[in-house]
């Protein structure tokens, strides 16, 4: 059974594919469906954006679709960048610019006030209109400089005290286990397994 990921972000595709491969789905990205229109993420919450993306992709492709919307919530910034995480420094989706802006805004702020969390909502939509969602979060602290070469987005700045590393320094298997996306997907795996067996088993 095919599962279309509602993203063209290759970092996200790799991460989601690793997490979903044990379920036996053929995981593909939107790169295989160039006709799907640009989806404007204009929701006020991660859930609204995830549901919108999944339902649009399921409708256009005729396949089951999975979308996630995730972002960074920094307590010192009142929860920003939140749903605007990807475009924090502008519309170019520039990871380096986003990280540099975050560091500028937190310049001089002590570690105890740099608490933050990654939050993720995953939505699965079927071509017949069923929608299922799950949420995950991971608590951490914003580092004072980028660390590590792995991951993407804000990973080089998101420090996890329990592991003594940023997301970009963690082994992929560890990150997938503790991350906001990994936790959300763990909750939705049972639903995906049920959908694979048939709609009456969900």
| Catalytically annotated residues | 69
In 3D, which of 12, 154, 3, 144 has the Cα closest to residue 80?
154
Task: Please provide the size of the chain in residues.
Answer: 202
Burial 7-16 (b: 16+ CB within 10 A, else e): bebeebbebb
Which residues are CB-contacts of 63 (< 8 A; sequence separation ≥ 6)? 2, 3, 4, 127
d(CA 166, CA 121): 21
d(CA 36, CA 106): 38
- Strand, coil or helix: 27: strand
- Strand, coil or helix: 118: strand
């Amino acid at each position: 059974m095919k599962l279309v990921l509602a993203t063209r972000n290759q970092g996200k595709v790799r991460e989601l594919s690793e997490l979903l491969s044990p379920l036996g789905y053929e995981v593909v990205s939107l790169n295989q469906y160039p006709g799907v229109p640009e989806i404007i993420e204009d929701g006020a919450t991660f859930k609204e954006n995830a549901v919108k993306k999944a339902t649009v992709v399921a409708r256009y492709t005729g396949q089951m679709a999975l979308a996630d919307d995730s972002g960074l919530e920094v307590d010192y910034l009142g929860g920003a960048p939140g749903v605007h995480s990807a475009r924090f420094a502008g519309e170019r989706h520039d990871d380096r610019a986003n990280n540099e802006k975050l560091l500028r805004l937190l310049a001089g702020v002590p570690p105890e006030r740099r608490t933050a969390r990654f939050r993720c909502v995953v939505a699965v939509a079927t071509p017949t209109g069923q929608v299922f969602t799950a949420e995950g979060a991971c608590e951490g602290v914003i580092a004072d400089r980028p660390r590590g070469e792995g991951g993407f987005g804000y990973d080089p700045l998101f420090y996890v005290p329990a592991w003594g590393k940023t997301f970009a320094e963690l082994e992929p298997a560890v990150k997938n286990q503790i991350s906001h996306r990994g936790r959300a997907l763990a909750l939705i795996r049972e639903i995906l397994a049920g959908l694979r067996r048939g709609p009456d088993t969900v």
